[in-house]
Amino acid sequence: MSDIYILCVEDEPEVLDVVVRDLADLEDVFPIEMAVSAEEAREIIQEMKERGDKLGLAICDHVMPGEKGVELLIDMQNDEFTRRTRKLLLTGQAGLEDTVEALNKAKLNRYIAKPWDPAELLQIAIDELTTFVIEHEKDLLRYMGVLDIKRIQEVIREKGSFSDS
Amino acid sequence: MPTNRRRRGKSKSAFPKWTKTAVGLGLGIIGFCIPLLFTFTGLSFAGHLALGIFLMAAVFWMFEPIPIYSTSMLVIFLQIVLLSTQGPLFQGSQLPETFAEPVGEQTWSLPAEAVDGDQIFLKKSPTRSEELSIEVIERNDQVIFFSTEITAETPVVAQYKHKLVQYEPVSYTRFFNTLASPIIILFLGGFMLAAGAVKYNLDKNLTNVLLKPFGTKPMFIVLGLMLVTAVLSAFMSNTATTAMMMTVAIPIAMQVAKEDKFRIMLALCIPIAANIGGMATPIGTPPNAIVISALNQQGLGIAFGSWMALMVPLALLLLLLAWGTMRVIFPPTVDSFKLALKSSFDKSYKAIMLYAIFGLTVLLWVTEAQHGIPSGMIAFLPIAGLTVTSVLSKDDVRSLPWEVLWLVAGGIALGISMENTGLAIWLVSSISWEMLPQFMLLLVFGFVALMLSNFLSNTVTATLLIPLAISMGTAGIGGEGFNLIITSLLIGSACNMAMLLPISTPPNAIAMSTGFIKTADMVKVGIVIGIFGLLTALTMALIYWPFLI
Amino acid sequence: MAMTLNQADIDRAKRARNIIKASSSANTYDKSTVIKAIKDLLPSSKLLSQLKREFEAGEIILAENQQNHHLFIIVEGTVSQMKSGAGLNTAIDYQGAGDFIGLLSFQTGQTAFTTAKATTPVTTLAIDHKNFELFHTRYPEISKVIQGLIFSNLSDRYRRVVTLHVEVALLSKQLEQERNQLQNAIQALEKTRNALISQEKMATLGELTAGLAHEINNPASALFRSVDYLINSLPGLAERAAALPDNGLVRFFFEEGFKRRLDNSKLNREKQKKLADEYPELKRSVIRLLSEMSPAAFDKIKPFITSKHQEHFHLLLDVFQSGSFLESIKLSTARIEYLVKSLKSYSRQSGSEPEVADIRTGIKETLQILGSRLQDVQVETKLTEIPPVLCFIGELNQVWTNIIINACEAMNDKGKLFISCGKDEKNVWVRISDTGPGVPDLIKNRIFDSSFTTKTAGGDFGLGIGLAISKGVVEKHNGTVKVSDREGGGAEFLITLPAHTGKK
């Protein structure tokens, strides 16, 4: 069975460290990958693709040396493999223009300003991953323990995802 | 048990999935071959074939190398190929015949290969034989025997080991027909009602209405949740009911601290009630279908309302038992809860059609004994009604749990073969049951059913056990006082009482994956319900059911 | 006098005389009638014929400031009267048939007031003083008519002067009004300009704040979250540590955590993969921590991984993590402190008095503050020793900021930026050049104009008056700013400021 990954892209290791720590509750079900640049993120995504895993959520800083976060997200949107990935911009500074571009071209799902509230970040990650598994996964029970139980139950009820036997 | 719960870490040390698949497939195929390689005395040729199918199906159902419903499909496939009149084995085959030669007064002689011990088989039709006991006087290559019933013109089967002996092949349509048997249609009707209820949120609104009278005291809330869950799951799938009720129970559970055990109770009471509620009506869970169809084959009809009269009291007792047990194990620490129960019934044309059809169908089902219209017939009211009024769309019809119908149909078909090939009787007669009193017989059956269905699908357990119980009754092995209906009902309810483990039933799996419950919690309550529930059912089987049947 | 008079001429002359007589007796001096009469008289009158003078078009009849001895009566053609003065030659009037030229100078003996120039071929009667007397005696009626004409001409002129006066008065009133309006407009413009300048300043400020927000947010986030974690974990750690057999381990792992340096993340990932294969039962978060440990630390924690020592294992992990969070806090605090320091000195509000300062400090601070903007710009600085400058250092920082931002914008934030400085005998100079497209010659002069911008409306920030402000600031410091092409492409700004000589 393939795993659904979370990918965090952030150029500053200390910040990356705390982002991952804030998401630690999800890690046992959704393994977390870290990248310090857009370039590394691409490598990681490529590896996932080769392993047959999925990328459920990408949390991306905008202002980074080299390629900007929004550019990475746009490329992800244009790639079949990462199109469905939920995309989250976590940044202290992105101009209105960049944000609008991200919204339009990368179909950005969420925007979080730095510094963030850890509970909020976790909740948003949960919401987004719940949406992802509901839309793309069949065996929802596997994720119910860490995700939004109510929404998943509702889907099980409506879709009759599995039946008595 | 369709859950492939995988916990990180554990899964890596456990067997890889393909190993399990390979073992399952291998064992299944071996099981299928055993009866073809060995000859069991007293079992007909067709019985050997049926035994092969039975063993293979049992292995496949246990190890699940393929989904359980596809095992059912495979069963039907093998039956039409191996056991039907039109299959290659029995196509055009006839019983070889010979005639007894008179030796003296009512003394006859036959070739030795036509006599099985002290039995001969009289040929009644090209494919049907009937056994007759004789008094053997002398035996070499000719058997000389005494019989008053045979005449010179009576055709006798020339080879007692011929494949047609003791088995009259049935048309392949007999196996197909299981798919459209009244009980399957009854289930289909139930599925459609449930699909409509979910689509128009009837289940949710009913829940909110029904929960109101239970107030805000913790134990009453739990009681309310359990009763409502049980009522809904009596008509809807246990799984869908659990998923829906969980969305009600979770917000309540969130109001208590993480460490509070009451939280466990809130999450655990739902699957337990859903499992128990499934017993209450014929359409509650698939094992009920197996019981009913097996009884139907014996000409024993059981009306919808009669079933409820038999089972509702048991379900209520079990609910109270579970409630009381959990109250002891997970005492509540909070005084009262906030409940946001808002019902807003859909008032569109389609929703109202649904309410009307739902109400009418249930009413007709419950009063079956009064008006005499079979429940399978009534089930066509929602089937036709909900689609004609376009309450359910094409997509809704497509998304019904058709595989459950296949599972049940395969089970029913297997039961047919087990019975008419003599396999079931052969199996049960290999143990001497006469030593056991009726009470012990029920206890043994109930216990086996309980144990098996904790690990296997409830339907599969019923499929494997019910034909055996039925044949005990028909063969008279059960001794006097053996009641087919009571025994079947007991096995059926034992199957539904299995809720020891997360894998025991889908509702358990759903509750487990909320993360509120630990397996140990489930096992504690599951053991109590299993043991005391079985005893309760036994008590009812001995002192209550006999009065209604 | 070889002149033959034909009868027609004589008749015409007669009629003319009659007309003149009639008009002189009637005291009516209609110009056209009189001129027609004179024209008619001309062929037959010897005197008149003598007086006749003709001019080509463009010929000067009477030049300004000349002595004039004739009174010219225009019989045919037009003459323009011009007055030179204040460096220009203004046509003030046009004269036609029946008008006089040199009337005033002829009568008063003063030099001519205006220049008369024929604009078409012109026929005049030029009467000198002698002939004027002659007329008076020989042709009293003609003289009378001429005098009448003169009078009417003078009164005409007088009337015109009066009208002119009125017109001038009106005009000057209008002018006054227009002048007032202009003044208002200028005031409004002044205001707008000031507003624009402050907007530009705000925009620069905006840029700076945004950059700073990012620069500070990152360490702030790390700081905030690390402290959060420690608040939750520290109290428990102390208690749990007591249970450990060897207390030295706690200190060791704490220090290990504090010394932790995050590896190259790729290497780290490979390490994690290996660990995950080796210890499949461990959670990923644990594997991650293990991968961050030094080999020495890993060797020490290894014996605890077995399930028997779970308690201790997790304690050590937590201790390690606490150490690493403290390190994070230390790093983040240092970053913030440095940023704040830079910001403080960067924005040092110039007091009323300039100070003697090393402008290189200001340049360095500016580069620090613009850090996020310059992420993809390779900055090469060559700041050699230079004498201090008497300046408002905060304002000069604004200059560096504007020029650097301008360069960044020109290069789309990607390229190289060269900053160097030096001195000559009196001045210090700073050279800032980039690898952008450069400034086209055409606009080199205008680039410092306050209205000039190559930025498109909307998208870009700022109003394009940053360079104008910079120029203003530099000029206030008695310096100059010039733009030229950098060798190898790009623009080069050279700022020169007078070096501080030691006296205040």
How would DSSP label each residue in C147-189? HHHHHHHHHHHHHHHHHHHHHHHHHHHHHHHHHHHHHHHHHHH
Q: What is the pLDDT of residue B126?
A: 83
Q: Coil, strand or helix: which one is A130?
A: helix
What 3-state class would DSSP assign to C433?
strand
Best of B10, B205, B393, B513 to disrupt the A interface (most A CBs within 10 Å) is B513
Q: Does residue A134 sit within a domain?
A: no
C112-128 pLDDT tens trace: 878 888 888 888 888 88
Domain ranges of chain C: 52-129, 218-343, 350-498
**Three-class SS state of C96:** coil
The letter for the amino acid at A47 is E
What is the C-alpha separation between B103 and B94, in angstroms, rounded?
28
Distances in Å between the Cα of B320 and the Cα atoms of A86, B276, B532, C237 are: 46, 11, 12, 46
What is the total residue count of chain C? 504
What residue spans define the domains of chain B? 15-93, 97-157, 177-400
pLDDT at B322 over 60: yes
Are C283 and B13 inside 8 Å of each other by CB? no
Q: What is the pLDDT of residue A124?
A: 93
- Provide the mean pLDDT of chain B: 87
Residue A165 lies in a domain: no
The CATH number given to C350-498 is 3.30.565.10
The pLDDT of residue C454 = 47
CB A70 within 8 A of CB A89: yes
User: End-to-end alpha-carbon separation of chain A, Å?
Assistant: 23
Is the residue at A35 inside a domain?
Answer: yes
In a domain, A36, yes or no: yes
Residue A23 included in any domain: yes
pLDDT for C457 equals: 36
State CA C383 to chain mean position distance: 30
Digit-coded pLDDT (tens) for B192-231: 998 999 899 898 898 888 888 888 888 899 999 999 999 9
Classify burial at C101, counting beta carbons within 10 Å of its beta carbon; exposed 0-12, middle 13-18, buried 19 or more.
buried
How many CB atoms are located within 10 Å of the residue C305 CB?
Answer: 18
Rounded Cα gap, residues B440 and B434, in angstroms = 11
Handedness of CA C6, C11, C15, C17 (dihedral sign): positive
Residue with the larger pLDDT of the pair B272 and C35: B272
The yes-or-no answer to whether C52-129 and C350-498 have a common fold is no
Whole-angstrom distance, CA of residue B159 vs CA of residue B157:
6
Most confidently predicted of A87-101, B408-422, C250-264, C352-366: B408-422
A140 lies in some domain: no
**Dihedral through CA B482, CA B485, CA B490, CA B491, nearest 10?**
90
Query: Is some CB atom of chain C closer than 8 A to the CB atom of A34?
Result: yes
Cis check for the bond before B218: say yes or no (omega within 30 of 0). Answer: no
The per-residue pLDDT for C247 is 65
A133 neighbourhood in chain B, CB within 8 Å? none
Max Cα distance, chain B (Å): 94
What are the DSSP E strand ranges found in C282-402?
355-357, 377-383, 389-391
Q: Mean pLDDT over residues A91-96, rounded?
A: 65
CATH number of C52-129: 2.60.120.10
In the structure, what pLDDT confidence band is assigned to residue C458 with cuts at 50, 70 and 90?
Answer: very low
| Edge-first strand listing for the sheet containing C122-128 | C52-55, C122-128, C70-76, C100-101
Compute the nearest-CA separation of A154 from chain B (Å).
Answer: 6
Distance (Å, whole) CA A68 – CA A58: 14
Higher pLDDT, C451 or C405: C405
What's chain C's average pLDDT?
Answer: 78
**Residue B335: strand, helix, or coil:** coil
Is residue C464 scored above 60 in pLDDT?
no
Which tokens in the block code for residue C74?
A: 């225009």
Chain A 105-144, CB below 8 Å of chain B: which residues? 139, 141-142, 144
Instruction: Give me the count of residues in chain A.
Output: 165
CATH of B97-157, one of 1.20.1300, 1.10.110, 2.40.420, 1.10.287: 2.40.420
Q: Distance of CA C291 to CAs A7, A26, B30, C233, Å?
A: 18, 19, 48, 21
Query: Are A159 and B2 an interchain contact pair (Cβ–Cβ within 8 Å)?
Result: no
pLDDT value, residue B2? 38
Q: What is the pLDDT of residue B200?
A: 92
Report yes or no: C479 and C466 within 8 Å, Cβ to Cβ.
no
Task: Enter the tokens of residue B445.
Answer: 């059956």
Task: Please determine, for residue C499, whether its predicted confidence score (pLDDT) is greater than 90.
Answer: no
Two structure tokens written together for A81: 């493999």
Q: Give chain B positions within 8 Å (CB) of C281.
A: 9-10, 12-13
Residue C280: its chain B contacts at CB < 8 A? 9, 12-13
pTM reported for the whole predicted model:
0.64
Q: What is the pLDDT of residues B391-434, one digit of tens each?
A: 999 999 998 889 889 988 999 999 889 888 888 888 888 777 66
B touches which chains (3+ CB pairs under 8 A)?
A, C
Axis crossing angle, helix B238-253 with helix B262-277, rounded to the nearest 10 = 160
Instruction: Look at residues C399, C391, C390, C394 and name the one whose alpha carbon lies nearest to residue C349.
Output: C394
Q: Considering only the beta carbons, identify the residue of B247, B399, B407 that sits closest to A165.
A: B407
Q: Average pLDDT, stretch C81-99?
A: 76
Q: Is the pLDDT of residue A94 over 60?
A: no
Query: What CATH number has the domain bearing residue A27?
Result: 3.40.50.2300
Apex A125 CA angle, A123 and A129, nearest 5: 120
A18/C285 Cβ within 8 A: no
Check: CB of residue C359 under 8 Å from CB of residue C428.
yes
Range of the domain at A59: 4-117
Query: Which one is predicted more confidently, B406 or C130?
Result: B406
By the 10 Å C-beta count (0-12 exposed, 13-18 middle, 19+ buried), B543 is classed as: exposed
Residue C265 near residue A37, CB atoms below 8 Å: no
Distance of alpha carbon C70 from alpha carbon C79, whole angstroms? 16
Percent share of chain B, pLDDT over 70: 95
3-class secondary structure, C418: strand
Contact C283 B8 (CB under 8 A): yes
What is the residue-wise DSSP string for C250-293? HHHHHHHHHH--PPPHHHHHHHHHHHHHH-TTS-HHHHHHHHHS
Task: Categorize the per-residue pLDDT at B477 as very low, low, confident or very high, splitting at 50, 70 and 90.
Answer: low
Please give, rounded to a whole number of angstroms, the shortest distance from the CA of C221 to a CA of chain A: 5
Among B141-155, B404-418, C399-413, the range with the most confident prediction by mean pLDDT is: B404-418
Contacts C229 to A, Cβ<8 Å: 18, 21
For B421, other C-beta atoms within 10 Å of its C-beta total 27
Residue C271 to residue C262: CA distance in whole angstroms: 12
Range B482-516 burial, b when 16+ CB lie within 10 A, else e: bbbbbbbbbbbbbbbbbbbbbbbbbbbbbbbbbeb
* Number of domains comprising chain A: 1
B285 touches chain A (CB under 8 A): yes
Once rounded to an integer, what is the mean pLDDT over residues C304-325?
Answer: 82
Question: Picking from A89-93, C235-239, C255-259, C332-336, which range would have the lowest pLDDT averaged per residue?
Answer: A89-93
Residue C24 has what pLDDT?
63
Q: What is the pLDDT of residue B16?
A: 65
Percent above pLDDT 90 for chain B: 38
By the 8 A CB rule, do B323 and B222 touch?
yes
Per residue in C140-162, pLDDT (tens digit) is 777 777 777 778 777 877 888 88
User: What is the distance in angstroms between the Cα of B259 and the nearest Cα belonging to chain C?
Assistant: 18
Rounded Cα distance between B168 and B130, Å, is 10
Task: Over range A13-38, report the average pLDDT.
Answer: 86
Question: Can you spell out the DSSP letters for A83-112?
Answer: HSSEEEEEES---HHHHHHHHHHS---EEE
Query: For tokens 């079979």, what's the residue?
Result: B374
Q: Give the helix, strand, coil percentages of chain C, each rounded to 5.
A: 55, 15, 25
Which residues touch C273 (CB under 8 Å, ≥6 apart)?
A: none
pLDDT for res B7? 34
**Closest Cα in chain A, distance from residue C210 (Å):** 6
